[in-house]
Amino acid sequence: MMVILRKELREHWLAFLVLTILTGGLFLLILLGYYTNPNGPGVHEAYRAYLGLSSLVSGLVLSHFLVSKEYSGKTQFFLESLPVGRYQVFAAKWFLGLAVLLAIQLGMFALTSAIALSREPIEMKFVGIALARTAAWLLFTHTCFFAYGLLGRYRLFCVFVVFTGLVAIDNASQLRLFEIGPFGLINPNRFAVERDALPLYDLGITAFWSLGALLISLAMMATREGSLASGLAVKMSYREKVFIAGVMVAVIFSISVLESREKPEPYTLVDAMAVTDDKVQVHMAETGLLNNSAPREFLNWLHAELAGVKDFLDMERLPPVFITVRRDLDPDKYELGYLKGKDGLLARVHYDPESWDREAFLAWLLPILLNKATYGRAALERNHWLLDGFAFFWSQGREEDMESTGPLMLRALYGTPEGITRTDLDQWLRFREQRGKSIAGSVAWSGLALLSRQYGADVLQNLLRRKLGQVPPVDARATVQEYRNALPTVFQELSGVGYDDFLSLWDRELRHHQRRMKESLSALPRLQGAVKLVQLSRDSHALEYKLVEALDDDTRIRFNHTRLAYDSNTITPDDVYSEDMNAGRLATWQRLPQGFRRGTLLAWSFTMRSEILKCDIGTGWQRMEVR
Amino acid sequence: MFLQPTENVSPTVSFLNPCRFKLNSTGGHGRTNLSRVRYSMTEASQKTETLSQPPRVLLRTRGLQKRFGNYEVLRGLDLCVREGSVYGFLGRNGAGKTTTIQILMGIQKSNQGVIDLFGRTAKRPNIAEKRRIGYVSQEQHFYPWMSCRYLGKFVSRFYPTWDQPWFLRLLHTFELPMDRKVINLSQGMKVKLALALALAHRPRILILDEPTSGLDPAARREFLDIVSHQAETEGRTTFFSSHIVEEVARIADHVGIIDRGKLCFQGRPDTLYAGIRGYRPQDPEVWREPARKQALVDRLKAQNLTLLAEEPRQSTLVLEGDSEAWSGVDSHTLTLEDIFLALTTKRIQLA
């Protein structure tokens, strides 16, 4: 066995070295991200992200060099002709692969834990649990990839089948395959969070699967007749390649086509008022009002507006809109319902004819509706400012332009104290999160208004039709179409001006108007807040918050906070909690009643209502980890 | 001297294996079908061997069968290789030679049958037995990154009897550059390297699987000379497969002919030459009139001569019969190639 080990080391030392350098480089990059984001997740979370990716890469590389290469090069026949048992060869390769994998990954783990112990309040017990998770995951990936290597020419196909099968089972059942067992061990919501108990259940399942993969490897290795694996290692014939590629493409295509062709049934609201034609439908459930004339009028107006949008964007139809009334919602808050397998869009609103702001509702509804109609293409981040801008343009700003002093223009100027840049547009979701939807939408509106004034309403309309109104095919062609119709390309094509040139012009205009309206803008407050963690117990912290700069005592301020999932950076509006109080109280530290466990990811912001801007303004969302 | 373990097995059980019926056979008189005639030939051969106290059997297979799905590659193969012999294992492409050798080396597994190797009966050789075998495969699949010297060092770890100075001498004799990597060796060099590796641990038996396929004529002759020289000087038992009749005729003192997974002859070449001969009919009309040919065949059959094949271009019938059957028949000796073709190509079935 030692002879084989020495041979493998001498043969593959360069591959092992390159693998170590590559994974080490990846680890350093992730570590860099950790150091440059002091409010981000802890270093063990960074390690988890690294582990998930690098263990897959390492498994593939090791299985190729230790297993597949031996079969594809037919050197296995030479080995088998020597007086050495197959099991000895197998054991040498298996243990060497595991040793290399463990040496690389556990080295990084040791470094991670050393950093964590010096910078974060963690205990050795947590390190031990994380180590058990890591080691078990590595054992699992190693055994799986070893079996994968023995599958020879069918290995990619088998992985495709297994992965597709797992996803299908996960979707069709309640098994939650990707949250338990081996995948549960490196689950982002658990790896760096569970600090007290060993995940014995997941470790057991992982051991079971690892044993299964090992037995499969042994069976394939032990099958003689030139071994099953060697038979499989023979390169695929052209016919076989075409067949298997055809099967894979057909499966993917069939799934996507079946999904897209599956016409969802229309959603039905019982006893609802409706204004419909075959292109646009709006329904409103029973409002509880004695007189339905106001809701009816609202529905007629909404139908007319949506029909106008459809014609303006040259769309064939819009998804039906269903509105239900929820008295417990704030009047200016709208909730999106989930219609599983049904056609349409369900909005929950607090409808009161007296205070109902239909333009604001339309501004909220339009981006969602267009996004749904275009299968998510309209909301791609680089196009998203057009979508937000159009919502405000259509609902409130068709008559205004940048020369106006109305709230839209004021908001746009308030949201761009340092002008507008290409980065702001390319990373629009981040920009919007920091400014708030109304401010960001108004900034986008200002761009559309400038575009209309400078190059003509036709150019604006055609641009919006191309980017928001075209319904793409529901398959890979959509990506190609998007690539060929990138916003800068379409912009240049329609206006004859470069996208960046337009952005410079837009930036200059905003700065010019900021000077023009300097006094109005300086009267608007800019919130600055701070938070701190107060330790309550070994693992529990309280969160305290306050305003950095004083405001009028009576000004109502909201402190918003939400927990973030480990695998998602998105702030979900429905999960946001707010503490509403006078600014006077916020001159001193205020404490949230609930405690937060160590490792919890949080996001927070301060907001207030600006009567001048007629929208919320705030600090923008900040993220942090409870340590 | 060693005794064969199956000395007293009745010849009716396994008529093709000379090791099994060496003393109690009767000569096969009166048998007319092909297999019986061949049985008598091997039997006769065995008689000769027995009288001179034949060496012990090093390698024997019994009822070896191998199937790939529905395709039967080996159909009850009974080989017998004696110590010190050079055994040429002859067969057409796809006859089952490589499969047999891979089973002997434990690379493949037989579906049925056993191997007797160095006196032990098993399904496959164990590690200790493999250490006593030198093996050269049909294609050389060495690690391309290893040099000749390093490859020897690597292989030497598996053989306690490895003789490093001799290995280096073999490399020198074969004119193999020691530090050249395998990837840079020609096909002929690779085969010679394989032979050096196979010989360096001084094996009891050398098994060569079509080692000369892919070699040019000069390299092939050089290789055969080396093998032949080794067999002569070292007295090493050699079992080699080939589909090239000429090289078997050149160096083998025993021949086994396999056809579609079954042996159709096993014994000394001179026995083969004596048993299968050519006959040129005097009457040229035989080749034009089937009735005359049939009459001739019937007449020969009455003399215990069986028609194996006909060669109209050479105006020759290939006939099979024991030595007594040839008396009075004006026959001529055939080449091994003619005999091989007669045995392994499509048979003529005449009543």
Query: In this complex, is the C-beta atom of A13 within 8 Å of any C-beta atom belonging to chain B?
Result: no
Handedness of CA A178, A180, A182, A188 (dihedral sign): positive
Please check whether residue B191 lies inside any domain of the structure. Answer: yes
Based on the fold, state whether residues B149 and B239 are members of the same structural domain.
Answer: yes
Based on the fold, state whether residues B161 and B256 are members of the same structural domain.
Answer: yes
Cβ proximity of B110 and B103 under 8 Å: yes
Based on the fold, state whether residues B212 and B155 are members of the same structural domain.
Answer: yes
- Of B288, B283, B273, whose CA–CA distance to B320 is shortest? B273
Based on the fold, state whether residues B90 and B215 are members of the same structural domain.
Answer: yes
Instruction: Say what angle helices B148-156 and B187-199 make with each other, to 10 degrees.
Output: 30
Residues in chain B: 351
Based on the fold, state whether residues B238 and B304 are members of the same structural domain.
Answer: no
Based on the fold, state whether residues B132 and B187 are members of the same structural domain.
Answer: yes
Q: Would the CB atoms of B130 and A83 count as touching at under 8 Å?
A: yes
CB atoms within 10 A of CB B144: 12
Please check whether residue B75 lies inside any domain of the structure. Answer: no
pLDDT value at position A559? 94
Q: How confident is the model at residue B5 (pLDDT cuts 50, 70, 90)?
A: very low
Please check whether residue B203 lies inside any domain of the structure. Answer: yes
Cβ proximity of B109 and B124 under 8 Å: yes
Query: Can you list the positions of beta strands (E) in B78-224?
Result: 80-82, 86-91, 112-117, 120-122, 133-136, 205-209
Residue range A53-76: mean pLDDT, rounded: 85
Please check whether residue B246 lies inside any domain of the structure. Answer: yes
Domain around B334? 271-344
Cα–Cα distance for residue pair B76/B79, rounded to 1 Å: 10
Query: In this complex, is the C-beta atom of A3 within 8 Å of any C-beta atom belonging to chain B?
Result: yes
Q: Chain-centre distance of CA B132, in angstroms?
A: 20
Based on the fold, state whether residues B254 and B279 are members of the same structural domain.
Answer: no
C-alpha dist (Å) from residue A84 to A63, A599, B196: 21, 52, 19
pLDDT > 90: percent of chain A: 27
Q: What is the pLDDT of residues B165-218, one digit of tens each?
A: 989 988 888 888 988 998 998 888 888 899 889 989 989 899 988 888 777 787
What CATH number corresponds to the domain at position B209?
Answer: 3.40.50.300
Q: How many helices (H) and strands (E) does chain A have?
A: 23, 15
- pLDDT beyond 80 at A540: yes
Cα–Cα distance for residue pair B340/B329, rounded to 1 Å: 22
- Mean residue pLDDT of chain A comes to 84
- pLDDT beyond 90 at A507: yes
Please check whether residue B280 lies inside any domain of the structure. Answer: yes
CB atoms within 10 A of CB A337: 15
- pLDDT beyond 50 at A617: yes
- pLDDT beyond 70 at B316: yes
Q: Which residue has the tokens 């949080």?
A: A602
Residue range A432-452: mean pLDDT, rounded: 91
Cα–Cα distance for residue pair B339/B228, rounded to 1 Å: 23
Cβ proximity of A465 and A314 under 8 Å: yes
Based on the fold, state whether residues B275 and B206 are members of the same structural domain.
Answer: no
Using left for φ > 0, alpha for ψ between -120 and 50, and beta otherwise, residue A496 falls in: left
Q: How confident is the model at residue A174 (pLDDT cuts 50, 70, 90)?
A: low
Cβ proximity of B228 and B251 under 8 Å: yes
- pLDDT beyond 60 at B37: no
Cβ proximity of A549 and A528 under 8 Å: yes
Amino acid at A180: I
C-alpha dist (Å) from residue A360 to A79, A175, A332, A398, B296: 75, 42, 8, 14, 113
pLDDT value at position A173? 67
Q: What is the pLDDT of residues A451-462, one digit of tens each?
A: 988 898 899 999
DSSP class of residue B211?
T
- Of B116, B74, B81, whose CA–CA distance to B97 is shortest? B74
Cα–Cα distance for residue pair A7/A621, rounded to 1 Å: 56
Among B130, B139, B159, B210, pick the best mutation site for testing chain A contact (most A Cβ within 10 A).
Answer: B130
Strands ordered across the beta sheet of A540-547? A529-535, A540-547, A590-597
DSSP class of residue B258?
E
Q: What is the pLDDT of residues A293-318, one digit of tens each?
A: 888 999 999 999 999 999 999 998 88
Lowest-pLDDT choice from A70-79, A454-463, A589-598, A606-615: A70-79
Based on the fold, state whether residues B285 and B204 are members of the same structural domain.
Answer: no
The three-state DSSP-derived secondary structure of B218-236 is HHHHHHHHHHHHHHHHHCC
Per the structure, the count of domains in chain B is 2
Query: In this complex, is the C-beta atom of B183 within 8 Å of any C-beta atom belonging to chain A?
Result: no
Please check whether residue B4 lies inside any domain of the structure. Answer: no
- Of A93, A28, A90, whose CA–CA distance to A54 is shortest? A28
pLDDT value at position A531? 93
Pairing of β A556-564 and β A345-349: unpaired
Q: Decide which of B222, B243, B267 is a domain's last residue.
A: B267
Cα–Cα distance for residue pair A489/A68, rounded to 1 Å: 46
Cβ under 8 Å to B: A residues 544-573: none
Nearest to B155 among A11, A76, A82 (CB): A82
Strands ordered across the beta sheet of B133-136? B133-136, B205-209, B237-242, B86-91, B254-259, B262-267
Q: How confident is the model at residue A262 (pLDDT cuts 50, 70, 90)?
A: low
Cα–Cα distance for residue pair A598/A590, rounded to 1 Å: 20
Q: How many CA atoms lie within 13 A of A555 on its CB side?
A: 26
Handedness of CA A565, A569, A573, A578 (dihedral sign): positive
Cα–Cα distance for residue pair B237/B198, rounded to 1 Å: 13
Based on the fold, state whether residues B93 and B212 are members of the same structural domain.
Answer: yes
Q: Would the CB atoms of B141 and A7 count as touching at under 8 Å?
A: no
Q: Which two tokens stand for residue A368?
A: 């969602």
pLDDT > 70: percent of chain A: 91
Q: How confident is the model at residue B156 (pLDDT cuts 50, 70, 90)?
A: very high
Based on the fold, state whether residues B94 and B240 are members of the same structural domain.
Answer: yes
Cβ-Cβ contacts under 8 Å for B332 (sequence gap 6 or more): B277, B278, B279, B280
Q: How many helices (H) and strands (E) does chain B have?
A: 11, 15
pLDDT value at position B55? 75
Q: Decide which of B233, B267, B301 is a domain's last residue.
A: B267
pLDDT value at position A566? 66
Alpha helix ranges (H) inside A37-123: 43-63, 69-72, 75-81, 86-119
- pLDDT beyond 90 at A501: yes
Contacts of B131 in chain A (CB under 8 A): 83
Q: Would the CB atoms of A73 and B144 count as touching at under 8 Å?
A: yes
Residue range A552-572: mean pLDDT, rounded: 83
- Mean residue pLDDT of chain B comes to 77
Q: Which of A119-128, A222-231, B212-221, B237-246 has the highest mean pLDDT?
A: B237-246
pLDDT value at position B52? 57
Cβ proximity of A271 and A347 under 8 Å: no
Cβ proximity of A342 and A266 under 8 Å: yes
Q: Decide which of B234, B267, B300 is a domain's last residue.
A: B267
Position with higher pLDDT, A92 vs A192: A92
DSSP A166-232: HHHHHHHSS--GGGSHHHHHT-TTTTTT--SS--HHHHHHHHHHHHHHHHHHHHHHH-TTTTHHHHH
Nearest to A226 among B107, B130, B158 (CB): B107
Among B126, B154, B206, pick the best mutation site for testing chain A contact (most A Cβ within 10 A).
Answer: B154
- pLDDT beyond 80 at A1: no
ipTM: 0.72
- pLDDT beyond 50 at A181: yes
Please check whether residue B76 lies inside any domain of the structure. Answer: no
DSSP class of residue B147?
B
pLDDT value at position B34? 37
Q: How confident is the model at residue A192 (pLDDT cuts 50, 70, 90)?
A: confident
Cβ under 8 Å to A: B residues 116-175: 127-128, 130-131, 135, 137, 139-145, 154-155, 157-159
Amino acid at A24: G
C-alpha dist (Å) from residue B44 to A518, B22, B32, B35: 122, 8, 16, 14
pLDDT value at position A277? 85
pLDDT value at position B36? 37
Cβ-Cβ contacts under 8 Å for A169 (sequence gap 6 or more): A175, A177
Q: What is the pLDDT of residues A194-240, one digit of tens each?
A: 777 888 988 999 999 999 999 988 888 776 444 444 555 555 566 76
Element (H, E) at A552: none
pLDDT value at position B310? 77
Please check whether residue B64 lies inside any domain of the structure. Answer: no
Q: A101 to chain B nearest CA, in Å?
A: 24
Nearest to B141 among A73, A85, A225 (CB): A73
Q: How confident is the model at residue A568 (pLDDT cuts 50, 70, 90)?
A: low
Query: In this complex, is the C-beta atom of A224 within 8 Å of any C-beta atom belonging to chain B?
Result: yes
Cβ-Cβ contacts under 8 Å for B231 (sequence gap 6 or more): B86, B238, B251
Position with higher pLDDT, A463 vs A151: A463
Pairing of β B237-242 and β B205-209: parallel
- pLDDT beyond 90 at A21: yes
Cβ proximity of A544 and A589 under 8 Å: yes
Lowest-pLDDT choice from A33-42, A528-537, B85-94: A33-42
Based on the fold, state whether residues B310 and B222 are members of the same structural domain.
Answer: no
- pLDDT beyond 60 at B253: yes
Cβ proximity of A170 and A162 under 8 Å: no
pLDDT value at position A164? 80
